[in-house]
Amino acid sequence: MKSQTVALFALVFAAVGFAHDHHHEDQIPLNYVKYPYQAVYPGDNEVTADSIFSGITTFAKLPWVQCLGKDRDTTFDIAFIGAPFDTGTSYRPGARFGPAGIRAGSRRLTLYGGYNVPLEVNPFHSGLKIVDCGDIPVTPYDNKFAIQQIEGGHRELLHRPAFSPLGNDALTGKPLVPISVDGKNHPRVVTLGGDHTIVLPLLRSIHSAYGPISVIHFDSHLDTWKPSVFGGAPSDQAAINHGTYFYWASQEGLIKNGSSIASILFPCLPTPITECFDPRPADYANDDASGFRRIEAREIDTIGTDGIIKRIRETVGDRPVYLSIDIDSIDPAFAPATGTPETGGWSTRELRTIIRGLDGLHIVSADIVEVAPAYDTNAELTTMAAADVLFEVISVMAKTPLGKVAN
């Protein structure tokens, strides 16, 4: 009996010691595989729709990698990263919970395996290493410091070497070389906002690898207002917000601005302007000066999605491009949970169609912003729409490497 008691105590002691030796950061979500980092998704004739609601929620059940922590040496091809910042918004706050909401809305993206029928690609089975890096730690108390945190976190991910080599050109068979200005093969970073202020630090990060970048901007607002107009700039920090970040990006030389409306260097497409949003003539003039051409939401009634796609592609050409998507470009009938909703926008289907029309463009990175889950329906309409839009984005990314044939 005594020997049994001693053995029992030894077993308990060993168990307690094991518990104390176990590190929390070594845990990974239920049903995920750590090596390789490619998530396990069903293929043809395999079981689907199997408990996708279980486990820790990452984007599309991707492997969770602590890219800014203990896994800071891990490489990848596409990384999702959250930027939970919403203290630059002018109307309804709540986008700090956007990253968590979008991840929840993405749970059924791989319900049937993740194959994108119109684009004929499964981005999760494309051979790319795609991970969810969690969120950038963002303070809610100091906007200046938070913006620095966002830029620093994004830059740290962007400047890691890509996991996969560029390979050869599909048409010529010749080796591809990077399109970045520093000559390196950078991974792509998809940022989950957060209000739209976050795009200023993101573009600062992008500039460090690609120089002045062309931007495709889907939004129901211009976001190029002068700080003296939008909010009145009561302080230097208040001058940077979700309505002025593109003004500052233009001033800092982060985007490819043109000197006149006719210039071929007008690289950016702001924005489906919705019917109820009524900018003043001076706002359009300032938007022109910031280097933007415009497509208005109502034009879809006359030129259709094909016409929208054609004008976008004619504007950006074959230049490297950054994609920024404000969820309020979708009509609130389909995506009500946002900080500054405007009626008269596009449907979720129309926006997804337009993004698929960007197939072949060199999208270097992207974001989706202004998702504020507190205003959503119980059916998670907005967060599902955001996740589905990003599914189209990474499908386009998966088909086009960030390389070109050397001259």
Please list the residues that pair with 68 across neighbouring strands.
none
Say how far residue 9 (Cα) sits from the centre of its chain. Answer: 53
Q: Confirm if 220 and 328 have CB atoms less than 8 A apart.
A: yes
The answer on whether 326 is annotated among ligand-binding residues is yes
The answer on whether 328 is annotated among ligand-binding residues is yes
How many Cβ atoms from other residues are within 10 Å of residue 240's Cβ?
22
CA 217 – CA 240 distance, rounded (Å):
18
What is the rounded end-to-end Cα distance, in angstroms, of the chain? Answer: 83
Question: Where do runs of H (alpha helix) occur along 234-378?
Answer: 245-251, 281-289, 300-316, 348-356
How many Cβ atoms from other residues are within 10 Å of residue 344's Cβ?
16
Angle between helices 199-210 and 143-158 (to 10 degrees): 30
The answer on whether 132 is annotated among ligand-binding residues is no
User: Closest Cα partner for 332 from 285, 371, 288, 284?
Assistant: 371
Q: Confirm if 140 and 87 have CB atoms less than 8 A apart.
A: yes
- The b/e string for 277-310 (b: 16+ C-beta within 10 A; e otherwise) is beeeeebeebbbbbbbbbbebeebeeeebeebbe
The answer on whether 223 is annotated among ligand-binding residues is yes
The answer on whether 221 is annotated among ligand-binding residues is yes
The answer on whether 22 is annotated among ligand-binding residues is no
Say how far residue 324 (Cα) sits from the centre of its chain. Answer: 7
Element housing 203 (H / E): helix 199-210
- The b/e string for 157-188 (b: 16+ C-beta within 10 A; e otherwise) is bbebebbbebeeeeeeeeebebbbeeeebbbb
Question: Which amino acids are annotated as binding site for Mn(2+), given as ranges?
Answer: 196, 219, 221, 223, 326, 328
Extract the annotated binding site.
196, 219, 221, 223, 326, 328
